[in-house]
Structures are given as C-alpha cells and as structure tokens.
C-alpha cells in the first residue's frame, strides 16, 4: 500500500516534469538555435509599435473613462432586450398560454417592466453619463 502511494507520487512528478519540459523546452531550443542578433538599418528592432510609425508618447497613460460608462449603458439595455425575447414569444397568446393572464394584464405588465428599466436613462442622465466630458478624479 505504502509502495503504491510512492509510485503514484512518482507518476505525478514525472508528468509534471514532462509538462514543464513541454512548455519551457521550446523556449530553450529557440534560444539555442535562433541567431542572437537581427540585421537592422535604423536600430528600431526594439520599437514596440509594429506598424512602422514612430510611437507618440507612452502607452502607460490614464485613459478617459467616458466611453466605459457609455458602454455600461449599452450593456444594461442589451440585457433588457434579452429579457424581452421570451415575452415576445408568448405575448400574442397571453390568454391561452396557461399563465392565467389577460391580454390587457400582459400589456400592462410589460409596460411596467420596460418602464422601470427605462428609468436607467433618467438615472444616467442625472449622473451626466451622456455629457461627453472628461471625469477628473479629485482626491480632495
């Protein structure tokens, strides 16, 4: 029993080393077989941008968050639409769907649902999401 456990552990170790070799091996092979330098004309080999143009400043800058809020609004309404799909399936035959609701009731219910969700717009409006201006974080 003890021997079996040791053997199992050895298997795990062997597979672990095999996996590690499989992952790291190619890097080592490439390091050994690849030429150690690149012929170049303008010393631009290490330039990060790969389209040939001079990079304008650093990539590590603080981006405006305006579009992010806008995108969140889109997500909210995308989910809204998602909930409306099953409604659209049964809406035309609300009376006979076995849900025991009348047509008028179904209409009012969907109106309330969409109405409440539409309040998102007012909320975002009040918060100033639709105004395309830079939000400046002020710690004071």
Partner 1 sequence: MGTQNLQPAIVQFAQLDKLLALGRANSLWPMTFGLACCAIEMMATGASRFDLARFGAEVFRPSPRQCDVMIVAGTISKKMAPAVETLYDQMPEPKWVIAMGNCAISGGPFVYEGQYGIVEGAEKLFPVDVFIPGCPPRPEALIEGILELEEKVTGSRRWPRVEVG
User: What is the closest distance, in whole angstroms, from the C-beta atom of residue 20 to partner 1 in the complex?
Assistant: 21
User: What is the closest distance, in whole angstroms, from the C-beta atom of residue 28 to partner 1 in the complex?
Assistant: 10
How wide is the angle at C-alpha 113 spanned by C-alphas 112 and 116, nearest 5°? 80
User: Does residue 128 come out as left (phi exceeding 0), alpha (psi in the -120 to 50 range) or beta?
Assistant: left
> For binding to partner 1 (CB under 8 A), which residues are involved?
31-45, 47, 50-53
Nearer to partner 1, 42 or 100 (CB): 42
Nearer to partner 1, 37 or 138 (CB): 37
88, 81 in Cβ contact below 8 A?
no
User: What is the closest distance, in whole angstroms, from the C-beta atom of residue 49 to partner 1 in the complex?
Assistant: 9
Distance of CA 55 to the CA centre of its chain: 27
Nearer to partner 1, 32 or 75 (CB): 32
User: What is the closest distance, in whole angstroms, from the C-beta atom of residue 26 to partner 1 in the complex?
Assistant: 14
CB atoms under 10 Å from CB of 107, counted, come to 13
Nearer to partner 1, 31 or 116 (CB): 31
User: What is the closest distance, in whole angstroms, from the C-beta atom of residue 97 to partner 1 in the complex?
Assistant: 52
Token pair 């091996």: residue? 25
Nearer to partner 1, 43 or 96 (CB): 43
Fill in the DSSP letter of residue 65: -
82, 90 in Cβ contact below 8 A?
no
């Amino acid at each position: 029993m003890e021997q079996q456990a040791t053997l199992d552990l050895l298997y795990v170790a062997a597979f672990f080393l095999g996996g590690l070799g499989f992952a790291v091996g190619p890097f080592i092979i490439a390091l050994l077989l690849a030429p150690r330098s690149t012929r170049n004309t303008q010393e631009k080999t290490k330039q990060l941008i790969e389209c040939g143009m001079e990079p304008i400043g650093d990539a590590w800058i603080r981006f405006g968050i305006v579009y992010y809020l806008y995108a969140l609004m889109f997500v909210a309404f995308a989910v809204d639409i998602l909930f409306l799909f099953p409604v659209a399936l049964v809406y035309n035959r609300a009376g006979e769907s076995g849900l025991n609701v009348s047509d008028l009731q179904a209409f009012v219910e969907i109106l309330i649902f969409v109405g409440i969700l539409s309040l998102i717009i007012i909320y975002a409006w009040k918060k100033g999401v639709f105004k395309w201006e830079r939000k400046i974080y002020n710690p004071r």
